[in-house]
Amino acid sequence: MKVSALQQSYLNRRSYSFRSSGPLDSSSDSAVKSPAAIFWLVLHGLCCLISLVLGFRFSRLVFFFLFSTSSTNFYASPFRSTAELANAFDVHSVLSTNSITNIELPLLNKTVANSRVVVGRHGIRIRPWPHPNPTEVIKAHRIIERVQKEQRLQFGVTDARTVIVITPTYARTFQALHLTGVMHSLMLVPYDLVWIVVEAGGVSNETASLIGKSGLKTIHVGFNQRMPNSWDERNKLESKMRIFALRIVREKKLDGIVMFADDSNMHSMELFDEIQNVKWFGAFSVGILANSINTDETADQKEEEETSRMPVQGPACDSSNMLAGWHTFNTLPFAGKIAVYIDDRVTVLPRKLEWSGFVLNSRLLWKDGGDKPEWIKDIDMLAGDIESPLGLVKDPSVVEPLGNCGRQVLLWWLRVEARADSKFPPRWIIDPPLEITVPSKRTPWPDAPPELPANEIPVMGIEEPIVKHSTKTRTSRSKRRS
């Protein structure tokens, strides 16, 4: 490596100089040795002996003490002006060089007269408080932001299209958790965004207040059917809700790229950059986190081996980067342990191809878009429900593979839901505080004083009855501690 070569060169050449400078110098220098040179030689030898005895390099220190005019030569020397230093070093840079120099003084003075840069030992300047200054750190971050913004302008997508995100959702325990995650991902997207939230069971205040916090342009519509309890039915209803949203895109003639963000999925930021490359209809790889619900009752060796690699759904390409087929989800290893109802504690599986792995140009949905390709079916002409967006195209080979031809996983699919009968406070705010307060039997903080002040008891009491499994974790934690 270049750096190591440089380092080595500087490491070794100087050692070479001290080793070989002796005989070669005497050959190249004048053969006449003045008494001054002999004196310095003797003094140098004496200092070497003393150093051997003492254990540290004695000679240089003596010279500094004897000949320095200002005490600026120590390791942690405070800030000094160059003029002072130059004056100081003029005198003893001659004397403190380690070699046998005899007639150096006039020569060095000649060179030093014109330049302010001196050869020899210099102090290491350290300021009194050598730590970062917070204002400067902020300024540096602003600079970095500006540089990155410029980079995006130059090398990023030139004409960024609006991203139209379609999310089907419904009010349930984990809705706040999932929707907040998606919302924060969408808030980070650097492009214009329209978020269409379709809610099963009608528009609810919960959802509205959640998405209202985002500051994004949202279209919140209700769908007049309640979300059923089985995964199968739920998937069907979600497909219907998504087509409903596509109709909204058509009515409002929204222009941009339509993507499907299910509320429990995880999106990477590169996904939003990558989908800008789509022309009409694109697909990318989705990682399936299907083993999320812990099947701790069945710790099967075989199962662990098979599910150790994350399954990926998406386009498959041949060697010339053309679409050759599809990777779909293999349900065989999970046979018998597939969740049927939403709160089953077994693995939830995706369908063959998930909606979230596809993006399409919104112009495909417009009624009379002039340059629409002929392979797109009209949404109104759909016979029944479609399981995946591939049902919208007559010929699946026109789909464009995105994300380095499907090699990059840009989205992770996950389904986690709480029990059907789980209760949660509206908007996750407990107001007014609960009436029944019971002091906890075991405090999770063993160092805390045994008597809690009166106004803290309600806070402690509230944590108990809310969710059942939190007590489990608390006791497990204290178990670990004791």
Partner 1 sequence: MEIWKWVLFGILFLSAFVVKIEAFKLGRSQPTERISGSAGDVLEDDPVGRLKVFVYELPSKYNKKILQKDQRCLNHMFAAEIYMHRFLLSSPVRTLNPEEADWFYTPVYTTCDLTPNGLPLPFKSPRMMRSAIQLISSNWPYWNRTEGADHFFLVPHDFGACFHYQEEKAIERGILPLLQRATLVQTFGQRNHVCLKEGSITIPPYAPPQKMQTHLIPEKTPRSIFVYFRGLFYDVGNDPEGGYYARGARAAVWENFKDNPLFDISTEHPTTYYEDMQRAVFCLCPLGWAPWSPRLVEAVIFGCIPVIIADDIVLPFADAIPWEEIGVFVDEKDVPNLDTILTSIPPEVILRKQRLLANPSMKQAMLFPQPAQPGDAFHQVLNGLARKLPHDKSVYLKPGERVLNWTAGPVGDLKPW
Instruction: Name which of residues 359 to 418 contact partner 1 (CB under 8 A).
Output: none
**Do 169 and 197 touch, CB atoms closer than 8 A?**
yes
Q: Which of 15, 87, 209, 404 binds partner 1 (CB under 8 A)?
A: 15
Alpha-carbon dihedral sign for residues 439, 443, 449, 450: positive
Site for partner 1 contains 3 (CB under 8 A): yes
Counts for the chain of helices (H) and strands (E), in that order: 14, 12
**Do 226 and 204 touch, CB atoms closer than 8 A?**
no
Q: Are strands 163-169 and 257-260 parallel, antiparallel or unpaired?
A: parallel
Phi-psi bin for 477: left (phi > 0), alpha (psi -120 to 50), beta?
alpha
In the chain, the N- to C-terminal Cα span, in Å, equals: 53
Answer whether the bond into residue 432 is a cis peptide, omega within 30°.
yes
Question: Site size for partner 1, by CB under 8 A?
Answer: 74
Q: How far is the CB of 273 from partner 1 (least distance, A)?
A: 9
Q: Which of 44, 146, 419, 427 binds partner 1 (CB under 8 A)?
A: 146
Q: What is the DSSP string of 59-119?
A: HHHHHHHHH-SSS--STTPPP--HHHHHHHHHHHHHHH--S--SSHHHHHHHHHHH-S---
List residues bridging with 338 in a β-sheet: 347
Binding segment toward partner 1, per CB under 8 A, in 18-26, 163-171, 300-308, 374-382 = 18-26
Site for partner 1 contains 44 (CB under 8 A): no
Site for partner 1 contains 147 (CB under 8 A): yes
Residue type, 312: V
Closest by CA position to 418, among listed 180, 176, 166: 176
Q: Nearer to partner 1 by C-beta: 132 or 446?
A: 132
Q: Which of 51, 59, 97, 471 binds partner 1 (CB under 8 A)?
A: 97
Q: What share of the chain is helix, strand, coil (3-state, %, to 5)?
A: 45, 15, 45
**Do 249 and 364 touch, CB atoms closer than 8 A?**
no
Site for partner 1 contains 269 (CB under 8 A): no
Q: Which of residues 426-465 bind partner 1 (CB under 8 A)?
A: none
Q: How far is the CB of 279 from partner 1 (least distance, A)?
A: 20
DSSP 8-class letter at 436: -
Q: How far is the CB of 264 from partner 1 (least distance, A)?
A: 29
Q: Which of 104, 251, 304, 305 binds partner 1 (CB under 8 A)?
A: 104
CA distance 431 to 194: 33
Q: How far is the CB of 103 from partner 1 (least distance, A)?
A: 9
Q: Which of 75, 381, 423, 429 binds partner 1 (CB under 8 A)?
A: 75
Q: Nearer to partner 1 by C-beta: 208 or 269?
A: 269
Q: Which of 39, 65, 79, 428 binds partner 1 (CB under 8 A)?
A: 79
Q: Which of residues 152-171 bind partner 1 (CB under 8 A)?
A: 152, 154-156
Q: How far is the CB of 159 from partner 1 (least distance, A)?
A: 14
Q: Which of 34, 71, 109, 148 binds partner 1 (CB under 8 A)?
A: 148
Whole-angstrom CA distances from 208 to 229, 389, 431, 445 are: 23, 27, 19, 38
Determine phi and psi for 364, rounding to 5 degrees: -65, -25
Binding segment toward partner 1, per CB under 8 A, in 26-34, 167-175, 214-222, 300-308 = 26-34
**Do 82 and 116 touch, CB atoms closer than 8 A?**
yes
Q: Are strands 358-361 and 281-283 parallel, antiparallel or unpaired?
A: antiparallel
Q: Nearer to partner 1 by C-beta: 127 or 481?
A: 127
Q: Tokens 């996750």 map to which residue?
A: 428
Binding segment toward partner 1, per CB under 8 A, in 101-109, 241-249, 252-260, 372-380 = 101-109
Q: Nearer to partner 1 by C-beta: 110 or 309?
A: 110
Q: Which of 41, 49, 91, 144 binds partner 1 (CB under 8 A)?
A: 144
Q: Which of residues 162-221 bind partner 1 (CB under 8 A)?
A: none
Q: Which of 53, 55, 66, 115 binds partner 1 (CB under 8 A)?
A: 115
Q: Which of residues 120-139 bind partner 1 (CB under 8 A)?
A: 120-127, 130-133, 136-137, 139
Q: Nearer to partner 1 by C-beta: 97 or 295?
A: 97
Site for partner 1 contains 423 (CB under 8 A): no
**Do 283 and 191 touch, CB atoms closer than 8 A?**
no
Q: How far is the CB of 87 from partner 1 (least distance, A)?
A: 14
Q: Which of 9, 71, 422, 473 binds partner 1 (CB under 8 A)?
A: 9
**Do 452 and 439 touch, CB atoms closer than 8 A?**
yes
CA distance 428 to 209: 11
Q: Nearer to partner 1 by C-beta: 245 or 402?
A: 402
Q: Which of 53, 55, 116, 435 binds partner 1 (CB under 8 A)?
A: 116
Q: Nearer to partner 1 by C-beta: 99 or 180?
A: 99
CB-side neighbour CA atoms (13 Å) of 416: 17
Q: Nearer to partner 1 by C-beta: 94 or 379?
A: 94
Q: Nearer to partner 1 by C-beta: 85 or 182?
A: 85
